[in-house]
């Protein structure tokens, strides 16, 4: 069991270092000359890929800014590693994840991961929202982070991703470790009514993750054109609605 932990954590640290040093790069040309992708970029594709395309066509974030993010992630990783050792692998932590998928380094940080005996049990998405609505983007995060843990060599056969949406996060964040434990033990969860919270528990599915990621990466690999995802509310807020032929606004 310890060996599995060491493999996953060691790979994670090595990938973060290699990405920081510029050794780890995509093994194929990517759109806009990017060398690696962030999970937030994959999530934006689900909102509206064409909007992302318009934005990036105007210029991508400079490489030095992206490197700064990696260095910050390395610091977060080193703190997490200390916590893992101090708790003998039973811990709840913010952990940056990175692994090459289809030879493209993909990097991102879930809100938190709950570990038991060094094995990831729950990937958490925690969000404040008045409507308590779950979006496809919330679900996609769980699949992408699950795939990264899997590629890193962590044991994922009992992995869940949990979406927690609350009208008010005050006082709730401290309860997340005990909520996570209850979910792992399949016990009932008790939360005070004042929190007004919605909790969705999903079992990670490798195949579903692979299909989603293959679809998203095919855009970056230039195997297909960007796809629009219009809706009145999205197009209303979009600064490209005047030039976009798919805008759902009537007066373009």
Give the interface segment with ligand SF4, choosing from 13-21, 29-37, 45-53, 100-108 (CB under 6 A): 45-53
Report the distance separating Cα 134 and Cα 11, nearest Å: 32
Establish if 45 lies at the interface with ligand SF4 (CB under 6 A).
no
Q: Which is nearer to ligand SF4, 68 or 246 (CB)?
A: 246
Q: Residue 221 to residues 49, 53, 67, 207: CA-CA distances in angstroms?
A: 14, 13, 22, 20
Work out which of 5, 24, 50, 93 binds ligand SF4, going by CB under 6 A: 50
Establish if 151 lies at the interface with ligand SF4 (CB under 6 A).
no
Q: In angstroms, what is the minimal distance from the CB of 227 to ligand SF4?
A: 9
Residue 124 CB neighbour total at 10 angstroms: 24
Nearest residue to 230 (alpha-carbon basis) of 52, 48, 54? 48
Count of residues that bind ligand SF4 according to CB under 6 A:
14
Report the distance separating Cα 13 and Cα 33, nearest Å: 25
Q: Which is nearer to ligand SF4, 57 or 87 (CB)?
A: 57
What are phi and psi for residue 133, nearest 5 degrees? -80, 140
Report the distance separating Cα 20 and Cα 17, nearest Å: 5
Q: In angstroms, what is the minimal distance from the CB of 243 to ligand SF4?
A: 8
Q: Which is nearer to ligand SF4, 117 or 239 (CB)?
A: 239
Q: Which is nearer to ligand SF4, 79 or 231 (CB)?
A: 231
Q: In angstroms, what is the minimal distance from the CB of 231 to ligand SF4?
A: 7
Give the interface segment with ligand SF4, choosing from 61-69, 89-97, 167-175, 244-252 (CB under 6 A): 244-252
CA torsion angle for 125, 128, 132, 136 (degrees, to 10)? -40
Report the distance separating Cα 78 and Cα 75, nearest Å: 5
Work out which of 109, 119, 180, 247 binds ligand SF4, going by CB under 6 A: 247
Query: Where would I find the H helices in 22-110?
Result: 39-57, 63-86
Site for ligand SF4 in 213-242 (CB under 6 A): 228, 230, 234-235, 238, 240-241
Contact between 76 and 111 under an 8 Å Cβ cutoff? The reply is: no
Sign of the C-alpha dihedral, residues 99, 101, 102, 105? Answer: negative
Establish if 51 lies at the interface with ligand SF4 (CB under 6 A).
yes
Q: In angstroms, what is the minimal distance from the CB of 63 to ligand SF4?
A: 26
Q: Which is nearer to ligand SF4, 51 or 160 (CB)?
A: 51
Nearest residue to 159 (alpha-carbon basis) of 204, 103, 199, 219? 204
Work out which of 61, 130, 203, 246 binds ligand SF4, going by CB under 6 A: 246
Q: Which is nearer to ligand SF4, 177 or 228 (CB)?
A: 228
Which residues are at the interface with ligand SF4 (CB under 6 A)? 48, 50-51, 54, 228, 230, 234-235, 238, 240-241, 244, 246-247
């Amino acid at each position: 069991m310890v060996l599995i932990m060491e493999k996953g954590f060691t790979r994670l640290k090595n990938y973060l270092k290699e990405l920081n040093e510029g050794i780890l790069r995509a093994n194929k040309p990517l759109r806009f000359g990017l060398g690696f992708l962030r999970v937030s970029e994959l999530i934006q594709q689900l909102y509206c890929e064409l909007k992302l395309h318009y934005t990036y066509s105007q210029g991508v974030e400079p490489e030095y800014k992206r490197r700064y993010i990696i260095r910050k992630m390395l610091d977060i990783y080193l703190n997490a590693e200390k916590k893992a050792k101090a708790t003998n692998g039973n811990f709840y932590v913010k952990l940056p994840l990175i692994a090459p998928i289809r030879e493209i380094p993909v990097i991102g940080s879930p809100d938190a991961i709950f570990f038991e005996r060094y094995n990831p049990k729950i990937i958490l998405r925690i969000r404040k929202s008045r409507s308590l609505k779950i979006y496809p983007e919330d679900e996609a995060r769980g699949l992408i982070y699950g795939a990264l843990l899997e590629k890193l060599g962590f044991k994922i056969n009992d992995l869940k991703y949990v979406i927690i949406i609350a009208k008010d996060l005050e006082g709730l964040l401290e309860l997340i470790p005990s909520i996570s434990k209850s979910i792992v033990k399949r016990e009932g969860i008790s939360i005070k009514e004042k929190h007004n919270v919605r909790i969705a528990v999903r079992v990670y599915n490798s195949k579903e993750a692979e299909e989603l990621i293959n679809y998203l990466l095919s855009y970056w690999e230039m195997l297909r054109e960007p796809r629009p995802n219009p809706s009145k509310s999205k197009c209303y807020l979009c600064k490209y609605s005047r030039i976009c032929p798919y805008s759902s606004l009537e007066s373009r």
